[in-house]
Amino acid sequence: MTESRYLRIIAAFLYVLAFCCSTASAQDLNTTARFSIESIQSAMASTKLSKVTVKNDPIYNDARMYEGYPLVLVLKTLAVHLQPTAWIRFSCRDGYAPEIPIKKVLDGSAFLAMRSLHKTAEHGWEPMWKDGKQTSPGPAYLVWTLPDEKPEEFPWPYQIVSIEVFSRQRESIMAPREAGEIASKGFGIFAARCLKCHSLNGYGGEMGPELLDPCSVTQYWTSEFLQAYIRKPQSIRAKARMPSNEDLSDGDLRSVLAYLGYLVNHRKNSASDHCPVP
């Protein structure tokens, strides 16, 4: 049997285990459970590390081998109730915080790498370059064994410092039906591409600035500049760290702006008007 078939069978077994054997002591579905990497390391201390090979590691653009645990096994060991509608957020040292639906990890294709098995690894990790400085993906790096997955949907966060499991409560930033079709399309794009780095009303990632509270970015930028910036930040600001979105159409960009525009009157501090400029 090939290694990948073997892994697939283990994954299928874990998947069944996840649903059949949750104990009464499992986490309450509505509470957010947050686990630091240190607490995950100690919870997993008596579990044997397994090895995984990934075909196209986006950090090194090549195949790499790691030692760690299938994420579903980690969640199971932490007694997380694997409710299929729950979400997982990976918080990273630099504020990057992608979220994925838990159902994506139940097949065993998500793997929490705890050390690299590459020949140049030092102290467990292979060096990498970030913002001109040498660093490493540790203490934990999420890798995927699925071939050709879309990076938007299957993020590879590194330098993970904590993992949170929660049922999604983002009412404060959702575009309801009355906001119109264009704004809800914009919400979909924002949730998939932007929320991991930007918060709205305090909800979301912290790698980039908050875009809504107390003033909405649409109040102090013109739409033309915003569209150009979102498509290619470096065209407006040299050294911008935000990645380009050159595959977004004009219509996509307009819908993102319609969504942000809709939220102007749904800022959490709009009633008392904390934004100094009306």
Question: What residues line the site for ligand HEC (CB under 6 A)?
Answer: 193-194, 196-198, 207-209, 211, 217, 226, 229-230, 233, 240-243, 245, 256
How many residues in the chain? 278
* Contact in structure between 232 and 242 (CB atoms under 8 Å): no
Residue 51 or 241: the one with the smaller Cβ distance to ligand HEC is 241
Residue 139 or 233: the one with the smaller Cβ distance to ligand HEC is 233
* Contact in structure between 17 and 76 (CB atoms under 8 Å): yes
The CA-based diameter of the chain, rounded to the nearest angstrom, is 67
Residue 83 or 245: the one with the smaller Cβ distance to ligand HEC is 245
Which contacts of 209-217 are long-range, i.e. CB under 8 A and separated by 24 or more positions? 211/260, 212/173, 212/260, 212/263, 212/267, 213/267, 213/268, 213/269, 213/274, 214/267, 214/269, 214/274, 214/275, 215/275, 215/276, 215/277, 216/260, 216/261, 216/263, 216/264, 216/267, 216/275, 217/260
Residue 162 or 244: the one with the smaller Cβ distance to ligand HEC is 244
Closest CA to 170 of 194, 193, 204, 216: 204
Closest CA to 112 of 78, 143, 157: 143
DSSP 248: S
Closest CA to 47 of 22, 16, 17, 72: 72
Give the whole-angstrom CA distance, residue 271 versus residue 204.
22
Residue 144 or 190: the one with the smaller Cβ distance to ligand HEC is 190
Nearest approach in angstroms of CB 253 to ligand HEC is: 8
Nearest approach in angstroms of CB 8 to ligand HEC is: 32
Residue 83 or 223: the one with the smaller Cβ distance to ligand HEC is 223
Nearest approach in angstroms of CB 158 to ligand HEC is: 13
Residue 24 or 238: the one with the smaller Cβ distance to ligand HEC is 238
Nearest approach in angstroms of CB 77 to ligand HEC is: 30
Closest CA to 82 of 97, 67, 71: 71
Nearest approach in angstroms of CB 216 to ligand HEC is: 10
* Contact in structure between 87 and 99 (CB atoms under 8 Å): yes
Nearest approach in angstroms of CB 132 to ligand HEC is: 14
Nearest approach in angstroms of CB 271 to ligand HEC is: 22
